[in-house]
Amino acid sequence: MRLITLGILGGVAAVAAIAAVTLVPTGENPDAKLGERMFPELAAKSEDVRSIELQRPEGTIAIARDGDAWRVPAKLGYPADSAKVRQLFVEVTALRTLEAKTRNRDLYASLEVEDRDQKDAKSTRVAFKNAQGQDILALLAGKNRYGRGGGGDDAVYVRKAGDAQAWLARGRLTVNRETVHWLDREITNVARDRVHEAVVRHADGTVVTVRRASPGDRDFAVADVPEGRKAKSSWEINSVAGAFEKLELDDVRKAGEATIAADGPSAMVTTYDGLAVTARFGEADGATWVAITATAAPPATLPEGISGLKKPDEVKAEADAINRRVGPWLYKLPSFNLDNMRRKLEDLLEPKSS
């Protein structure tokens, strides 16, 4: 019973702490600004923004504009996820004042809108900068308050840098904590439904092949199953053929920073319309790195019974686009993707019966 009571008292204390920061000094009238956009200057000067700096307790993330694109300098200038950058602009410009909170510096920490130079600060400083590195807008984003249902009642505690007034603002701010989450993480997206065959080549020379006998087959089969053995479920086998579908990175480095042998271990999928995508593996700094290449060898006629296939010129354009995007890079993949690309025959067979 004592534990329950302490829990309730703790909750009451937390609510009281938040409630306390609604107090504002006599003479101030922040309520006159309720419902207004907090940062209209960002929309007016969005074209002047050349970089974004996100300062968090975990460290600082920088995103830089490169013409019409965005890049992440800490990841060697790898392309940023433009949709996430655009979302950040939209979310900040959409924030509207909902409730005036404190102007007392000592109370900022309870909302997590304290300045970043404060000891143990938990705030996120979001700065939109011009070409000279000067702040067009800088704000301190704090705790989120999530609404029920579809998110229309979401709110966030926020304070403009240099302004004493903290607010509860209607809206949300999505600030990813890790640099990798700001990258354009998709490497390839070869739908399994297009794939005819997947081939895994191991360093010892062994080869594992899964394929569909005809385009109308839903599942893949293991080629050359040893006599007396049985393949595992279609889910296990199909995962090999789907290894390049929505393939995402966990990290990147420049091509040439790991030894990738042309005749070394690899995984390849070939589609019915003639696209072949290959991953070749190499080791560096205790991790496996992958080089991706694509080629196009469209068939004379496309098979019937399968949708989503592309014309020869489209396949060639697709291969060229993949090579332009991935050619300068090596990728570290999520472990489950890497496992699917390195399946051994024994991994796809049921255990031997005794």
Is the residue at 354 inside a domain?
A: no
Q: Are residues 77 and 163 in the same domain?
A: yes
pLDDT band at 12 (very low <50, low <70, confident <90, very high): very low
Q: Are residues 167 and 286 in the same domain?
A: no
pLDDT band at 27 (very low <50, low <70, confident <90, very high): very low
Q: Mean pLDDT in the chain?
A: 90
- The reported pLDDT for the residue numbered 297 is 95
Is the residue at 112 inside a domain?
A: yes
Q: Are residues 175 and 213 in the same domain?
A: no
Distances (CA, A) of 332 to 136, 191, 195, 216, 352: 35, 21, 23, 34, 34
Q: Are residues 336 and 217 in the same domain?
A: yes
- Average pLDDT on 39-62 reads 96
What's the rounded Cα separation, in Å, for the pair 221 and 348? 10
What's the rounded Cα separation, in Å, for the pair 332 and 354? 39
Q: Are residues 245 and 288 in the same domain?
A: yes
DSSP 302: P
Is the residue at 271 inside a domain?
A: yes
- The reported pLDDT for the residue numbered 300 is 85
DSSP 20: H
- Which of 133, 162, 182 finishes a domain? 182
- Which of 182, 216, 239 finishes a domain? 182
Is the residue at 1 inside a domain?
A: no
- Average pLDDT on 217-222 reads 95
51, 131 in Cβ contact below 8 A? no
Q: Are residues 125 and 241 in the same domain?
A: no
Using a pLDDT cut of 90, give the percent of the chain over it: 81
Count of domains in the chain? 2
- Which of 182, 217, 235 finishes a domain? 182
Write out the residue range of the structural domain in which residue 36 sits: 6-182
DSSP strands (E only) in the chain = 51-56, 59-66, 69-72, 78-79, 96-100, 124-129, 135-145, 155-160, 166-170, 186-188, 195-201, 207-211, 221-222, 247-248, 251-254, 266-271, 275-284, 287-296, 329-332
Q: Are residues 175 and 201 in the same domain?
A: no
Q: Are residues 200 and 342 in the same domain?
A: yes
- The reported pLDDT for the residue numbered 10 is 37
Is the residue at 177 inside a domain?
A: yes
Is the residue at 68 inside a domain?
A: yes
Q: Are residues 150 and 241 in the same domain?
A: no
pLDDT score of 275 more than 80: yes
- Average pLDDT on 303-320 reads 90
268, 279 in Cβ contact below 8 A? yes
Is the residue at 331 inside a domain?
A: yes
- The reported pLDDT for the residue numbered 4 is 32
pLDDT band at 110 (very low <50, low <70, confident <90, very high): very high
Is the residue at 353 inside a domain?
A: no
Tell me the two tokens of residue 139: 């704000």
Using a pLDDT cut of 70, give the percent of the chain over it: 89
Q: Are residues 124 and 262 in the same domain?
A: no
- The reported pLDDT for the residue numbered 322 is 98
Q: Are residues 228 and 128 in the same domain?
A: no
Type of residue found at 215: P
Q: Are residues 115 and 90 in the same domain?
A: yes
